[in-house]
């Protein structure tokens, strides 16, 4: 049995309940690999945590070998520091994170130019293009389109599983929650209201005479602005960014993910997965609550 003083971290295992179940054998194997302590069940058949040493110390490997061991099992694994797990601030991206789509791509699809814009989005979110240049190029292609397409695109938006639980549970326990997106306020204002975010920040699409002008309001909210909002909100809460959680999927989220004490790559683009150790690749946003030590019985639905 390892000494508790050496178990400074926690390995969190979460199963995709639609595809598999977290079995006792999975937990035992993970404990053996990490030299960890007794497991705590956070949700029967779904989530457990194991006290463990810091990655790369003692018997504890870095996260990549652990993920490799459970590849093909539809399990997510995250290693987090045991102290200060419950975060006082959540800063979340919107597109492909809180919602299941890229809203600008959906808008373009209704305008009949979906494939052209989706390819630019893909390259931008994987860090292959400058975010601001890519945003201007995509919005420019919408010049002259009727603004009614925004309502059509809104009808396609679906909130990702676990998003409501994540926001409401963290707020119930005193955290500030903010939706910070490189998308557009037309969508973020509605998503923030549905989920219960305390505030929302995004770009604005300019409209004249009922048509899109092809321009974006200034200043453009990109990677630097996301990081600035994280720092501003942390300062307002009287905490450091080390006490914050950030979640996103694209290259424009990297700066805030690296700065936050718990930055999570959520079903992220390859460039983001290469850069961020804490990843959710198989499961839902519920995993961000398990990572903070919440049991399913603590969730606010």
How many whole angstroms separate alpha carbon 65 and alpha carbon 144?
52
pLDDT tens, 218-248? 999 999 999 999 999 999 999 999 999 999 9
Burial of residue 183 (CB within 10 Å: 0-12, 13-18, 19+) is buried
Q: What is the pLDDT confidence band of residue 3, given thresholds at 50, 70 and 90? A: low
Query: What's the pLDDT tens digit per position in 166-204?
Result: 999 999 999 999 999 999 999 999 999 999 999 999 999
pLDDT for 71 equals 87
Question: Is the pLDDT higher at 35 or at 267?
Answer: 267
Residue (of 151, 171, 154, 163) closest to 195 by Cα position: 163
Element (H, E) at 256: helix 254-259
Domains of the chain are 1-83 (3.30.70.260)
Of 274, 187, 191, 263, give the one whose Cα is nearest residue 227.
Answer: 263
Per-residue tokens: 25:
């054998």
pLDDT at 4: 57
Q: Do the beta carbons of residue 100 and residue 106 sit within 8 Å?
A: no
Q: What is the pLDDT of residues 111-150, one digit of tens each?
A: 999 999 999 999 999 899 999 999 999 999 999 999 999 9
pLDDT attached to residue 65: 85
Please say if the pLDDT value at position 48 is more than 50: yes
This prediction's pTM: 0.94
* Length in residues, the chain: 301
Report whether 204 contacts 134 (CB < 8 A).
Answer: no
Percentage of residues in the chain having pLDDT higher than 90: 89
Q: Determine the pLDDT at residue 56.
A: 76
Residues belonging to the active site: 93, 95
Determine the pLDDT at residue 1: 47
What's the pLDDT score for residue 62? 76
* 3-state class percentages of the chain: helix first, strand second, coil last, to nearest 5: 40, 20, 40
């Amino acid at each position: 049995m390892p000494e508790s003083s050496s178990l400074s971290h926690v390995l969190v295992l979460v199963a995709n309940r639609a595809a598999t179940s977290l079995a006792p054998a999975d937990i035992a194997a993970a404990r053996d690999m990490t030299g960890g302590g007794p497991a705590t069940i956070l949700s029967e058949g779904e989530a457990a945590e194991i006290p463990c040493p810091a990655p790369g110390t003692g018997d504890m490997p870095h996260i990549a070998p652990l993920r490799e061991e459970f590849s093909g099992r539809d399990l997510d694994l995250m290693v987090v520091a045991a102290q200060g797990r419950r975060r006082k601030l959540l800063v979340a991206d919107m597109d492909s994170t809180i919602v299941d789509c890229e809203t600008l791509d959906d808008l373009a699809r209704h305008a009949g130019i979906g494939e052209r814009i989706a390819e630019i989005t893909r390259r931008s979110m994987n860090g292959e293009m400058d975010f601001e240049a890519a945003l201007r190029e995509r919005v420019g292609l919408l010049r002259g389109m009727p603004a009614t397409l925004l309502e059509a695109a809104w009808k396609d938006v679906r909130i990702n599983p676990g998003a409501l639980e994540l926001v409401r549970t963290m707020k119930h326990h005193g955290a500030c929650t903010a939706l910070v997106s490189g998308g557009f306020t037309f969508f973020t204002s509605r998503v923030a209201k549905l989920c219960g975010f305390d505030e929302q920040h995004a770009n604005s699409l300019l409209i004249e005479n009922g048509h899109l002008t092809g321009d974006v309001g200034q200043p453009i909210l990109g990677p630097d602005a996301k990081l600035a909002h994280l720092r501003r909100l942390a300062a307002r809460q009287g905490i450091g960014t080390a006490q914050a959680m950030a979640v996103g999927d694209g290259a424009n989220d990297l700066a805030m993910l690296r700065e936050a004490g718990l930055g999570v790559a959520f079903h992220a683009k390859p460039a983001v997965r290469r850069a961020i150790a804490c990843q959710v690749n198989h499961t839902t946003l519920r995993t961000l609550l398990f990572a903070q030590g919440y049991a399913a019985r603590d969730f606010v639905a």
